[in-house]
Amino acid sequence: MRLRAEQIPAHLQKGLAPVYLISGDEPFQLDQTVGAIRQQAQQQGHTDRQVLHADARFDWHSLGASAANLSLFAEKQLIELRLPTGKPGAEGSKALLAYLENPPADTVLLIISAKLDKQQQNSKWYKAIDRAGVTVAVWPIEAAQLPAWLKQRMALREMQPSEAALQMLADRVEGNLLAADQELEKLRLLSGGGAIDAEQVAAAVADSARYDLFSLVDVILSGDLARAQRMLFGLRAEGVEPILVLWALSREIRALAAMAAELETGRPIAAVMQQHRVWDKRKAPVGAALRRYSRAADWQALLRHCRHIDFCIKGQAAGAEWEELLQLTAALAGTPLFESGQASG
């Protein structure tokens, strides 16, 4: 049975399926869906939890062995099978099909996978899971869908936002659902719930951490490198993860790359900014940045530097992530700290 992520809470109220396959690349919804199933399983007595990682060295015989080896102190168990590539291979497919022929009554199998392509969704093992249990494909929330998603999450916290409040929130958190959920919780604590208008959202934004990521972006685009450096150092001192800083900067660079490409076709800047929903208060810093780097190729070079920083954060490339973020900040502000060409990473 195929369900959407938002349908899982209602489904769980009716009982647990013997097997779940949750797949996708959007981490917040994936974590929320898996967490809901895990919590419901524990509440229903599945206290013996085993976690299996199906990497290249994984022995698929251990799946059946885990199902057979129920703890003496537990009546039911939950087996979490992590499938990082979304491809179990021939041996894994065979093991899954064998398990699904007669799934143990006292066991819930929860498979957590990367995004699955059409070929995988048409495979025998996937269809067997679909018949025996529940499959959920987690998709990113598109910009047009984000206000409705925010409204639903706010309703769970007993908040009723105005349309203007929703749009302001959507513009702030687009592309990062974890940040969105954190903003909603902060807004609930500050407002106490009930009706929420744009002024309350703006006040909550103003009450953000001393060095706010979104303020940092606008300061950088304005070209104030000294202030931007102070803010960046402040974020680091407050323990903000470098991946969040990179997310904020790369999100802005992608938008500016798209705007620069349209400007190169001769479109007026006012029309381009309107299409990209640039707020009035942001038109000055965005315009300054587009005058500083007028070619789309310049912004693509900055995006390559973002990818290099991402590799540094993940330990896949040499470089200190905060130093790289400082270099990117300087380049965006118009005062590169590196020689021409290094921005490509």
CATH 1.10.8.60 domain span(s) along the chain: 146-206
CATH assignment of 146-206?
A: 1.10.8.60
DSSP state of 199: H
Mean pLDDT throughout 85-92? 88
Task: Say what the pLDDT of residue 201 is.
Answer: 86
CB atoms within 10 A of CB 61: 10
Query: Picking from 94-98, 231-235, 327-331, which range would have the lowest pLDDT averaged per residue?
Result: 231-235
| Sign of the Cα pseudo-torsion (191, 196, 200, 204, in order) | positive
Q: Dihedral of the CA atoms 192, 198, 199, 205 (nearest 10)?
A: 80
Task: Say what the pLDDT of residue 54 is.
Answer: 87
Whether 342 has a pLDDT exceeding 70, the answer reads no
CATH 3.40.50.300 domain span(s) along the chain: 2-138
Average pLDDT, the chain: 86
Between CA 53 and CA 62 the distance in angstroms is 10
| pLDDT tens per residue across span 128-162 | 999 999 999 998 888 788 899 999 899 989 999 99
Task: Say what the pLDDT of residue 141 is.
Answer: 83
Task: Say what the pLDDT of residue 209 is.
Answer: 42
pLDDT exceeding 70 applies to what percent of the chain? Answer: 92
Architecture of domain 213-344: Up-down Bundle (1.20)
Give CA angle at 246 (242, 248), nearest 5°: 120
How is 102-168 classified by DSSP, letter by letter?
S--TTEEEEEEESPP-HHHHTSHHHHHHHHHSEEEEE-PPPTTTHHHHHHHHHHHTTEEE-HHHHHH
| pLDDT tens per residue across span 189-224 | 888 889 999 888 887 765 444 446 778 898 999 999
CATH assignment of 2-138?
A: 3.40.50.300
Whether 67 has a pLDDT exceeding 50, the answer reads yes
Between CA 290 and CA 293 the distance in angstroms is 5
| pLDDT tens per residue across span 243-287 | 889 988 998 999 999 999 999 999 999 999 988 888 877 899 999
| pLDDT tens per residue across span 171-198 | 777 767 887 888 888 888 888 889 999 8
